[in-house]
């Protein structure tokens, strides 16, 4: 077992570094067959939904060939033959679907705090992680391990503004959070909605954004009007934007989470400028991080 100091260093590099050999059992580690009925999910696992189609495919493979890699579990009480999953919950769930009575496993001595860390880090590395789930993972680390935003930032190797921006999503109304979770609202749209001063208009505007398929830029213009910040009408665009320019704007807006604008020059073909507005110094730091620019 790695030292606590080494484990903390590994957090910034991900779950693979925290348990580098979690899927590669050492020679001296025994692989045992455990009853599925004696195994339970990690109690700190934030993930509740699993792709049922993928699970059924894995279950079919297990029915034919068995489980190739043992799951990793811990035994909270040495006197009771009950186990909690550290890694391999998909294999565990698929084995249940395949009606297998047992599953190969390795039992390891893991602390309560490590269980929390592994569960959250494993969740953060999911490819299908939504912005809201990422925010909930950071919040979970802070609450369960009593960490500050700065400490979470240091452990995960992300900037504090980056963590703060995601945590702000948790302050949105439940209806808006549901839209984010379903993929109806992007991170950029959610961040724009957070700047709305009259919070009673937040959920209706979110529904309008989904219904009318509003871009981040369009949403920012509406929010500015609601906030009374649009003192003068927007300047007319001198050059009509091509479908390529409009599509590029959309992609950049999604990436940076703000109303990126591409302005082509009327006098010179294939030339122009890209404008990336920011709302605060923290927002600027977030954008610079995306650009991989360090001004320290």
Closest CA to 216 of 190, 195, 235, 178: 190
**3-state secondary structure string, 6-73?**
HHHHHHCCCHHHHCCCCCCCCCCCCCEEEEHHHEECCCCCCCCCCCHHHHHHHHHHHHHHCCCCCEEE
**Nearest to 134, CA basis, from 157, 113, 165, 161:** 165
Element (H, E) at 85: strand 83-87
Among candidate residues 89, 134, 220, 249, the one labeled active-site is: 89
Contact 160, 172 (CB under 8 A): no
Asked about 63 being catalytic, the answer comes back as no
Contacts of 110 (CB under 8 A, 6+ apart): 74, 86, 118
Find out whether 91 and 71 touch, Cβ atoms under 8 Å: yes
Q: What is the C-alpha separation between 120 and 140, in angstroms, rounded?
A: 7
Q: How many CB atoms lie within 10 A of CB 181?
A: 15
| 84, containing H or E segment | strand 83-87
User: What is the residue-wise DSSP string for 181-234?
Assistant: HTTSS-HHHHHHHHT-S-GGGHHHHHHHHHHTT--HHHHHHHHHHHTT---SPP
- Assess contact for 8 and 73: CB atoms under 8 A: no
* Number of helices and strands in the chain (H, E): 14, 7
Strand 272-275, strand 261-264: pairing? antiparallel
Active site residues: 89
């Amino acid at each position: 077992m790695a030292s606590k100091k080494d484990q903390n260093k590994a957090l910034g590099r991900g779950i693979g570094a925290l348990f580098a050999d979690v899927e590669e059992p050492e020679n001296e580690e025994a692989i045992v067959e455990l009853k599925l009925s004696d195994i339970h999910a990690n109690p700190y696992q934030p993930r509740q939904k699993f792709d049922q189609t993928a699970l059924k495919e894995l279950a079919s493979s297990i029915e034919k060939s068995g489980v190739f890699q043992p799951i990793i579990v811990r035994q909270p009480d040495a006197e009771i033959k009950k186990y909690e999953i550290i890694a391999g919950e998909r294999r565990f769930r698929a084995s249940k679907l395949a009606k297998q009575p047992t599953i190969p496993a390795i039992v390891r001595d893991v602390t309560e705090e490590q269980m929390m860390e592994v569960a959250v880090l494993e969740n953060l590395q999911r490819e299908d992680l939504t912005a809201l789930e990422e925010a909930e993972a950071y919040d979970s680390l802070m609450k369960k391990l009593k960490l500050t935003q700065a400490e979470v930032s240091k452990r995960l190797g992300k900037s504090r503004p980056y963590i703060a921006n995601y945590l702000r999503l948790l302050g949105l109304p439940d209806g808006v959070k549901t839209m984010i979770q379903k993929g109806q609202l992007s991170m950029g749209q959610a961040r724009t909605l957070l700047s709305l001063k009259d919070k009673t208009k937040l959920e209706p505007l979110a529904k309008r954004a989904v219904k009318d398929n509003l871009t981040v830029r369009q949403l920012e213009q509406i929010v500015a009007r609601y906030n009374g910040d649009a003192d003068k009408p927007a300047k007319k665009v001198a050059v009509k934007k091509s479908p390529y320019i409009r599509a590029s704007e959309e992609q950049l807006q999604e990436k940076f989470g703000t109303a990126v604008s591409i302005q082509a020059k009327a006098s010179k073909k294939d030339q122009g400028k890209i404008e990336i507005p920011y709302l605060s110094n923290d927002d600027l730091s977030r954008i610079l991080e995306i650009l991989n620019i360090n001004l320290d």
